[in-house]
């Protein structure tokens, strides 16, 4: 996982699954690329959480937390806004994944895509 720059966890696990990122991964990899993890699932107390490297949720006002990593590595930030999935975690995960998948398919042309005009 440390070869990616950004990791978005948007899966719902009702039983144990793969562990995507651990403290050992980020502490022992001084040449890591990973700099941002967005946890859409945000259930850090669930034993099935596949990225158990943080213990607090972020908010819209304070949207990132810094994860303590090897001082020789670049910083690692977590975005984990708790109430995005409060009511229907499975349905929200499926919906978000579908939208994210469409975005990922066109990501290679990111310089020519206008996401938001203000």
Q: For position 116, what pLDDT does the model report?
A: 44
118: pLDDT strictly greater than 50: no
Domains of the chain: 6-112 (3.40.50.720)
The structure's pTM equals 0.64
The mean pLDDT value for 22-46 works out to: 76
Spatial separation of the C-alpha atoms in residues 68 and 34, rounded to whole Å: 13
């Amino acid at each position: 996982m440390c070869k990616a720059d950004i990791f978005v966890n948007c899966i719902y696990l009702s039983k144990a699954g793969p562990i995507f990122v651990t403290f050992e991964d980020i502490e022992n990899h001084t040449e890591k690329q990973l700099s941002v993890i967005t946890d859409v699932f945000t259930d850090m107390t669930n034993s099935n959480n596949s990225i158990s490297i943080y213990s607090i949720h972020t908010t819209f006002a304070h949207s990132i937390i810094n994860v303590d990593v090897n001082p020789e590595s670049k910083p690692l930030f977590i975005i984990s806004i708790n109430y995005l999935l409060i009511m229907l975690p499975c349905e929200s995960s499926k919906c978000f994944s579908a939208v994210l998948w469409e975005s990922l398919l066109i990501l290679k042309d990111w310089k020519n895509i206008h996401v938001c005009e203000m």
